Amino acid sequence: MLVAEAQSLTGCVFGFPVPRDGSWWEGFDGPMPQNLEQLTASGHVFAILETVVHPHQHAHGLARRLQERLLADHQSSLGVTLVDQSARSACAAFKDWGWQEAGQIHRLPGPTALRVLVLPLGERTEDHPDGLAHNDRTQRPE
C-alpha cells in the first residue's frame, strides 16, 4: 500500500504481486499473450486492487504517480487490474492514466466478464511498441 498525504489523506493505492503460477489469469478469454505469461512467470507483474484519490485540483495526476511508484517499489514491469464491464467511468479513468485493455477474464461466482487492463512500464521499442518486452536476465529469484 502506498499513501499520499498533504494536510490530510490525498490518495492511496494498494495491490499485491501476481503469483508466478499463472493462477491470476484463470478464466482469461482467448489465448493468453505470450509476453503476459513470461512477465508473470518471471515475477514482474503486480496487481493494483484499488486506487483512491481525492478529487481536488492539486491532486491532478496523483493516481498515475501513486500507481507507478507502487509498481516501481515492487520492481514490476507490468501493472494489471480488473474492471467490471459496467464500470465505464472507472475504465475511462484507468485509460486516462495510461492503462491499456488486454482482454477480458471471467471470474466466479457469476457470468460477469471483467476487463483486463495493463500498465506496461517497460521501454517502448520498435519491436515492442506496447512496452511489454521480456528479458530473461530479469528473472527474479523464487
Q: Strand order of the sheet with strand 45-53?
A: 2-5, 9-17, 45-53, 78-84, 113-120, 100-106
> For position 16, which CATH number holds?
3.40.630.30
Number of domains in the chain: 1
What is the reported pLDDT for 68? Answer: 87
C-alpha cell at 36: 503476459
Give the structural domain span for 39: 2-138
- Cβ distance 10 to 35 under 8 Å? no
Report the amino acid identity of residue 20: R
What is the reported pLDDT for 73? Answer: 87
What is the reported pLDDT for 96? Answer: 87
- Cβ distance 115 to 86 under 8 Å? no
Handedness of CA 82, 84, 89, 92 (dihedral sign): positive
Report the amino acid identity of residue 76: S
Three-state secondary structure of 31-84:
CCCHHHHHHHHCCCEEEEEEEEECCCHHHCCHHHHHHHHHHHHCCCCEEEEEEE
pTM of the model: 0.77
Q: Count Cβ atoms within 10 A of the Cβ of residue 53 and give its class: 0-12 exposed, 13-18 middle, 19 or more buried.
A: buried
Peptide linkage before 17 cis (omega within 30 of 0): no
C-alpha cell at 70: 507502487
What is the reported pLDDT for 138? Answer: 47
The mean pLDDT values, 10 residues at a time, for the chain of 142 residues are 65 91 91 86 92 70 84 89 90 89 87 88 55 48 48
What is the reported pLDDT for 18? Answer: 95
